[in-house]
Amino acid sequence: MSIERPSAGGQPSPARPKKPPPEITVRVSWCKSCGLCVAYCKPGVIAMESDLPQIVAAERCTRCLQCEAICPDFAIQVHERPAEAGGGSATS
Amino acid sequence: MSFDYDEYLRLDKFPLFFCSGCGDGIVLKATLRAIDHIGLDKNKVMMVSGIGCSSRTSGYVDVNTLHTTHGRALTFATGIKMVRPDLHVIVVTGDGDCTAIGGNHFIHAARRNIDITVLLYNNWIYGMTGGQVSPATPTGACASTAQFGSIEPNFDIVKLAQGAGASFAARETVARPVPLERLIEQAIRRKGFSLVEILTPCPTTYGRRNKAGDAVQMVEYLRTHSVSQARYAGLEGEDKDKAIVTGTFVDEERPEYTDEYRKLVDRVRTR
Amino acid sequence: MSTRTAIVRVMSGNEAVAAGAMAAGLRFFAGYPITPSSEIAEELSVMLPKSGGWFIQMEDEIAAMGAVIGASLAGAKSLTATSGPGFSLKQENLGFACMAEVPVVIVNVMRGGPSTGLPTMPAQGDVMQARWGTHGDHTIVVLAPNSVRESFDLTVRAFNLSERLRTPVILLLDEIIGHVNEKLILPESVAVLNRKGPDVPPEHYKPYRSTEDKVPPMAAYGRDGYRFHVTGLAHDETGFPTNDPKEIEKLALRLHAKLEWYRDEIVDVERVECDDAEIGVFAYGATSRSAYQAVREARGRGIPVGLLRPRTLWPFPHREVSALAQRVRTILVPELNLGQMAHEVEWAAAGACPIAALARVDGQPISPRQILEQVERAAKGDQR
């Protein structure tokens, strides 16, 4: 849903560019293929392929951090990407 | 945005020795987030564990750590807390370690209301030694020493703590890491004996013997069977029997043991 | 050094243990009531809070042992006290203290055993248990006072050895010594040793580093930024568990070597008229008090008898016994047990002379007369 906020001149603001998806990494040697991260990812960002979690739909990530919280092996990590030059908004 | 667990870990000891799908790492992570959120100094955190899978946790954490004898973590922790009441003492124990061999120490630490946080990892089994029955194994469930199904009633560990006079007793499962973290934080912050019983799956021993599925299925079981105390009141029959009641059951202010001891010293001290 | 003005008191052995512990710098006591040791706890329940130290009566003997280890790892000199049944309960955690090299003093005021036995009567039946009560290869120091004076002095010595060698030390009294009342001059000053602290910054600290003197420097939990791991599992120098056979053996051998290395410093005996003795008596604790009298009377009758009295039971004074065995015709070993030390004396003598045990296990002390009669028989050539 987009919200239009009227500016002083009555012109609608341009829509903000979307934040780049976070970087989701897996420390492969620590992963034990339990599948909990896949089960806990509601938007379906992660899928198991050859016994390892693969990021198949990074753009769907809502940063809920459930995959991180549920991984018993400290394998999967969610990092914000550093801000891009020019273009997109700064990420915090 | 992401939490840097590595700051609290002895990374050279990783990967964790726990089985694939063991829930113990989830509890550890919730504990570290809690410690970080409170802002505790690592040098002031003292983790004391007993013997069992969950008790191996202490070796992985970069705080003061002590891995004691089976069932006796609370006794070592009592000695430490008495002489260093300024340390945040966290005992990591399991259902067998704490309520079987450690039962006596559990009830007396609760009775004294000594300021120790007890994280009791309840996986309904003695996992490390191959899956023997524990006082928490549900009646009828199978274990290596109850291969025809356990005939014993199992403890309601929260009730046990309450009966012993615990000033704080709570239960959560690894299926809900965020509420779990909040309870652990609450337990660490507050003064007095604080029990958090945490249901966590052991797919390797309990899961296999009881055909409870893999880690995902066992965690899903915990999630779907967790009920609040309010909802539990309205349950009947098998729903009631199988319910895992979560939340805080008692949270009262009571005189804390090391405080009372210090008052005694102030009263009688001659030098 | 702690100093005090000399004070003269009459007190029991148990009370002297409490006083000696305080003089040695005791800060933490955890115990459980058991006859005939409870007076130690009762004294310290007053002395410790009054001096700002910590006292707690735990829920059982096992808990008391755990608590003193915890307190010691947090930097406090700690003591627990018990008797036979409680000593049995403490063994597992005592083994932990051996394995983890935790300084702690354990007092066992021996009573009749086994099991509930004779709660109010003396015995010396725990001397082997003190050495081997806990499972696995371990070393231990065991001291045996024979007077109220020694109950004070050997308690101080126990703490000093414990701190110096990073080892638990057992103080074995028996009910007689625990309860006898004698005059005690509390010394003006007592030499106190403290554990060696770490000599490297926290990031380089290894709690079980092999050092030249075989005793690893010891940090305390929560102090000065040293964060470390202690476990009862076989571990390497970092304190973490290991399955590496080389590290496992290294630890086992270092723990063994530690007390062997300091053997001459630890072993302490008293010799009475041994130089020209042709008959030897080996006695310790309360029994040695009767032995003094027997030796004096025998000498009065012209019998060349001498007494070798260990103040240290373990490590066993093998060399001292062996030296005596070379010179005498026989060694008599009166004990309030069925020959526990007699066996060790026989082993140390290695056949140099026969050993005769005098066992009394009816809950009564061995009298000077009993020992004298045995000495007289030996003098006549009768080895019984």
Give per-residue pLDDT as tens, B17-65.
Answer: 999 999 999 999 999 999 999 999 999 999 999 999 999 999 999 999 9
- How many CB atoms are closer than 10 A to CB C61? 24
Name chain C's partners: 3 or more CB pairs within 8 A. B
Residue A49 parent element (H or E): strand A46-49
Q: How many CB pairs under 8 A join B and C?
A: 132
Say yes or no: C328 contacts chain B, CB-CB below 8 A.
Answer: no
Q: How many domains does chain A have?
A: 1
The verdict on residue A34 lying in a domain is yes
pLDDT surpassing 60 at residue C61: yes
Say yes or no: B261 contacts chain C, CB-CB below 8 A.
Answer: yes
Q: How many domains does chain C have?
A: 2
Percent of chain A residues topping a pLDDT of 90: 63
Kindly give the pairing relationship between strand C118-122 and strand C104-112.
Answer: antiparallel
Residue C353's pLDDT band (cuts 50, 70, 90): very high
- Chain B: nearest CA to A32, how far in angstroms? 5
Residue C344's pLDDT band (cuts 50, 70, 90): very high
pLDDT surpassing 50 at residue A86: no
Q: What is the rounded average pLDDT of the residues A70-80? A: 96
pLDDT surpassing 60 at residue A91: no
Is the CB of B219 less than 8 angstroms away from the CB of A36?
yes
Q: What is the rounded average pLDDT of the residues B161-185? A: 98
Nearest CA in chain B to A37: B216
| Cut 0.90: pTM above it | yes
Q: Name which of B20, B204, B221 to mutate to probe chain A: the one with the most chain A Cβ atoms within 10 A of its Cβ.
A: B20
The verdict on residue C234 lying in a domain is no
Residue A82's pLDDT band (cuts 50, 70, 90): confident
The verdict on residue A11 lying in a domain is no
Q: What is the rounded average pLDDT of the residues A45-63? A: 95
CATH of the domain at A60: 3.30.70.20
Task: Among C174, C190, C206, identify where a domain stops.
Answer: C190
Three-state DSSP class for B142?
Answer: coil
CA C283/CA C285 separation, integer angstroms: 7
CA C57/CA C42 separation, integer angstroms: 10
Contact B257, B110 (CB under 8 A): no
Question: Do both C183 and C286 map to the same domain?
Answer: no
Task: Among C142, C168, C190, identify where a domain stops.
Answer: C190
pLDDT for position A14: 64
CATH of the domain at C287: 3.40.50.920
Is the CB of B79 less than 8 angstroms away from the CB of C232?
no
* Chain B positions in Cβ-Cβ contact with residue C206 (cut-off 8 Å): none
Q: Name which of B29, B57, B62, B222 to mutate to probe chain A: the one with the most chain A Cβ atoms within 10 A of its Cβ.
A: B29
Q: What is the domain range of residue C92?
A: 2-190
Nearest CA in chain B to A82: B1
Say yes or no: B194 contacts chain C, CB-CB below 8 A.
Answer: no
Does ipTM exceed 0.90? yes
CATH of the domain at C138: 3.40.50.970
Nearest CA in chain A to B21: A34
CA B87/CA C70 separation, integer angstroms: 13
Report in angstroms the alpha-carbon separations of A1 from A4, A88, B172, C174. 10, 20, 36, 85
Q: How many CB pairs under 8 A join A and B?
A: 78
Q: What is the DSSP secondary structure assignment for residue B67, as one 8-state letter?
A: E
Q: What is the pLDDT of residues B252-266, one digit of tens each?
A: 999 999 999 999 999
Strand extents, DSSP E, B177-217: 194-199
Say yes or no: B65 contacts chain C, CB-CB below 8 A.
Answer: yes
- Chain C: nearest CA to B12, how far in angstroms? 11
The verdict on residue C287 lying in a domain is yes
Q: What is the rounded average pLDDT of the residues B138-160? A: 98
Q: What is the domain range of residue A45?
A: 23-79
pLDDT surpassing 60 at residue A85: no
Q: What is the pLDDT of residues B200-212, one digit of tens each?
A: 999 999 999 999 9
Question: Do both C185 and C317 map to the same domain?
Answer: no
For domain B22-268, give the CATH number. 3.40.50.970
Residue A84's pLDDT band (cuts 50, 70, 90): low
Contact C365, C336 (CB under 8 A): yes
The verdict on residue C47 lying in a domain is yes
Instruction: Lowest mean pLDDT of A11-25, B235-249, C77-91, name the range.
Output: A11-25
Contact B92, B123 (CB under 8 A): no
Say yes or no: B11 contacts chain C, CB-CB below 8 A.
Answer: no
The verdict on residue A55 lying in a domain is yes
- The mean predicted confidence, pLDDT, of chain C is 96
The verdict on residue A6 lying in a domain is no
